[in-house]
Amino acid sequence: MKTRYILAALTLGSALLAASCEKDQNPNTANRGKEKPTVAVEVTDDSDVEFTLKLTPSSDALSYAYVIYTADSYDYANIPSAYDIVTKSVSGTFQSEAIIKGDESSTDVNVKCVLKEYYQICTAAISKDGLLGEVDTMTVYIPGAHPDISFVNAVYTLEPYTSEDLGEDAFADGLGDPFDIQFIEVEPAVYVATGPWFGAFNIPLVGTYNYSNNTLTFDGTVYGDEASGTYFGGLVGYVDRTVPLAWALFGGGNSGAEPLVFQCSVTDKKATISGVKSGAIEVDIYNGSSGSWSWYGVYGYFDEDCTITFKEEITE
């Protein structure tokens, strides 16, 4: 019965709106001069992961609806029409699941935060006489807003390909010992993976967390040198200046530019790395003794066929 009631209310609202639009063209409309229905919005509870809106319609409101847009700044550049809001002809980050009956004293709406600090609320109502109200707007600012999931700062042990796995491509024998990398949050959804990659190459890589699919992606950007873009596909530093030997950093794919993507699992709203979803990280050695850099061998390679294991949480 509830579903039928909601559908009936929506149909009634649409019919009233159609009648209202027709009447508004007539100077003798019965709604001329009447107060338009409104929806008062109040924030009753908020944190950096969620907040609650109390929506209170005016006594003459038959029904009403809302839409919420998220943004990086205070900007009402695209306010929908009241008609579109009440007929649910809009699409925001959040919106009414159905048109709301106006005879209730108020409705509480719980909003789960995303990685946006500004939440632009737009509401509109229609009266029993088909009088459409104005769009009421309000912005809720949540500093540091983020989904209610936290990534656990931790040390992980990575087990790369061994020299035997690499075969003739291996730079030397005896490669492939497990090594530890720290994954630490430096700002919301941004992480740094730092430590001796393949036991020898210290380079802090920047990763971003995707809350929609719980993945952590590293595209070769280096922490502290973000302006330079990805380091994947280029020489990074010397191994031995006297020879000389240099090392280069690569990602996955034939181009060596595809990002390394870790899959994470979430338990009790805490995310930890469970494995590699796609991509790779590779360190190759190049010889420059001939006057130009020529490929010499693979020093380390890690991809989805390798193992990453949680070692310990970082609590400091």
Query: Using one digit for the tens of pLDDT, what is the confidence trace for 259-309?
Result: 999 999 999 989 999 999 999 999 999 999 999 999 999 999 999 999 999
Range of the domain at 43: 2-22+34-141
Is the separation of the CB atoms in 120 and 76 below 8 Å?
A: yes
- In this structure, the answer to whether residues 309 and 205 fall within a common structural domain is yes
Can you tell me the distance from the alpha carbon of 13 to that of 129, in angstroms, rounded to the nearest whole number? Answer: 10
Work out how many domains the chain is built from and give that number: 2
Domain boundary among 119, 141, 163: 141
The pLDDT, as a whole number, for residue 29 is 57
Number of other residues whose CB lies within 10 A of the CB of residue 291:
6
- In this structure, the answer to whether residues 279 and 179 fall within a common structural domain is yes
- In this structure, the answer to whether residues 169 and 309 fall within a common structural domain is yes
- In this structure, the answer to whether residues 95 and 64 fall within a common structural domain is yes
- In this structure, the answer to whether residues 134 and 157 fall within a common structural domain is no
67 inside domain: yes
207 inside domain: yes
* CATH value at residue 112: 2.60.40.10
- In this structure, the answer to whether residues 10 and 97 fall within a common structural domain is yes
- The CA-atom distances, in angstroms, between 164 and each of 60, 68, 176, 201, 253 are 78, 56, 9, 21, 21
- In this structure, the answer to whether residues 184 and 52 fall within a common structural domain is no
Tens digits of per-residue pLDDT, 192-211? 999 999 999 999 999 999 88
Tens digits of per-residue pLDDT, 120-152? 999 999 998 889 999 999 999 998 888 888 889
28 inside domain: no
What is the percentage of the chain residues whose pLDDT exceeds 70?
89
Strand partners, 41: 55
29 inside domain: no
Which tops the pLDDT comparison, 90 or 311? 311
Domain boundary among 109, 141, 173: 141
- In this structure, the answer to whether residues 108 and 185 fall within a common structural domain is no
Going by pLDDT thresholds of 50, 70 and 90, the confidence category of residue 103 is low
The pLDDT, as a whole number, for residue 104 is 65
pTM of the predicted protein model? 0.68
Tens digits of per-residue pLDDT, 2-32? 222 222 233 334 444 544 444 444 434 566 7
The pLDDT, as a whole number, for residue 94 is 86
Domain boundary among 141, 169, 192: 141
Residues 6+ apart with CB under 8 A from 297: 169, 170, 171, 172, 284, 285
The pLDDT, as a whole number, for residue 25 is 41
What is the rounded average pLDDT of the residues 173-195? 95
